[in-house]
Amino acid sequence: MKPSDIEGQEQHVAKLARTFGPALLLAVGLAVGVIAGPALGVLVLAGGALLAAIATLWASLRALVGETALAPEDAFALGAPSSEEEQKRAVLRAIKDIEFERTVGKISEEDFSVLLGRYRAEAKRLLRQIDESRAPERARAEALASAFLAKHVPTDEGRGEEPGAKARETATVASGGTPRERGKKRRKGRAPTASTGAVAATEEEAPTVEEAATIEEGMTAADTQRCAACETTNDADATFCKGCGKRLQREEAAS
């Protein structure tokens, strides 16, 4: 079994344990308590707590020494709003609030205009900050997409597209949509996920534009590899899975 297979299985078991473990433990404890007496039921629960303590502390130590892959919420911070987004949402609510107060006549037009101006300026400042913080990842996504498209998608001279337009469009899809679409997805409880050309996890893991181009040069349509974690088919020399974002075991591409 490959190490990545073992890790994948471990994570699968951990996820199952996290989801069903507490309820299962409680159910078993209650059942034992009813059948064999409350003392034994409490003992079962205590055993479960001990196992949970050992498992989580072991996971903590493994993460500390770098034996486990970074969890998505730490690596990508996907699905979680940044502090600027949280603040922006609060400012939007403040705007709605004073609009409501104006509707019911609790604020004068003059005060409304002044406050509205301040809140809008603050909201725009936060939007700019959000865009600025995403700019590096967006540029990287565009570069990866450009390299991939240059290799695989034939240009259509009749369409007269801008050279980078397709790449930017792909990068937009890759990052989960436009900022407005991402925000809407997040509000509806769906984390904006990266699709093709996954955004790099950390600075040390992200391929540079040159590396991405080198990767693209070595790829042929016939070369594929499967992701051990999610079984998605990827290009033979892909570094990260396009389905789940995990690092792939790169196989030697047939020359």
Partner 1 sequence: MWNSLPEFGTGVLCAILVAAAYTFTVALAAGGGRPRLLQSARSGAYGTIALVGLAVLVLAYAFVSHDFRLDYVARYSDRTMSTPWLIAALWGGQDGSLLWWLFLTALFSGACVAWLKGRYRDLQPYVIATQMSVLIFLAILMLFAANPFRTQIGGATPDGAGLNYQLRNFYMIIHPPSLYIGFTSAAVPFSFAIAALVTGRLDNEWIIATRKWMLFSWLFLSIGNALGMLWAYEELGWGGYWAWDPVENAAFLPWLTASAYVHSTMIQERRGMLKTWNVVLICLTFFLTYFGTFLTRSGLIASVHAFAQSSIGNYFAGYMILIVAVCTALILRRADKLKSEGAFESWLSREFTFLINNWGLVGLMVFIALATVWPRLSEWLLDQKATVGPTFYNAFIPPVALVLIFLMGTAPLLGWRKTSERLFYRSFTFPIGAMVVAAVLHLSLGERLGFPAFVAAEPVKESGLWLKLAWLQGKLPLVTMMLVAYNLAVVSQEFYRGIVARQKSKPEGVVTALLRLVSKSRRRYGGYIVHVGIAVMFFGFAGRAWGLDKEASLLPNETMTIGEYTLTYKGTHRDVDHEKTAVVTDIDVAKSGAAAGSIHPARFIYKASPGQPSTEIGRFSTPKNDLYVVVGMINPETKAASVQAHVNPLVSYVWLGVMILIAGALVAMWPEPTEEEAGAFGYVRALGTAATMVMLSVLLALAPSYAYAQQQDMRREGVVEEQTPKEKSLFSQLLCDCGTCPHEPLSTCTCGWAHDMRATIRAELAKGKTSETIIAEYAKQHGNDAVQVQVDSGGARALWALPLVAFIAGGALVYRFIRKRTEPRDAESASDTEARDAYDERLDDELKDLDEDT
Considering only residues 60 through 89, tell me which ones interact with partner 1, judged by CB under 8 A: 60-61, 63-64, 66, 68, 70-71, 73-81, 83, 86-89
Give min distance, CB of 30 to partner 1, in A.
Answer: 12
Q: Which is nearer to partner 1, 46 or 153 (CB)?
A: 46
Instruction: Quote the CA–CA distance of 154 and 151 in Å, as a whole number.
Output: 8
Interface pattern 184-203 for partner 1 (x via CB under 8 A): x-xxxx------------x-
- The region of 4-12, 38-46, 142-150, 209-217 touching partner 1 under the rule CB under 8 A is 38-46
Q: Distance between CA 110 and CA 248 in Å, rounded?
A: 60
| 35: contact with partner 1 by CB under 8 A | no
Q: Compute the C-alpha angle 75/165/235, nearest 5°.
A: 50
Q: How far is the CB of 209 from partner 1 (least distance, A)?
A: 24
Q: Does 121 bind partner 1 (CB under 8 A)?
A: yes
Instruction: Output the CA–CA distances (angstroms, integers) from residue 160 to 143, 149, 156, 168, in the order listed.
Output: 21, 16, 7, 16
The number of CA neighbours under 13 Å toward the Cβ of 212 is: 23
Question: What is the C-alpha separation between 213 and 220, in angstroms, rounded?
Answer: 13
* Residue 226 lies near partner 1 (rule: CB under 8 A): no
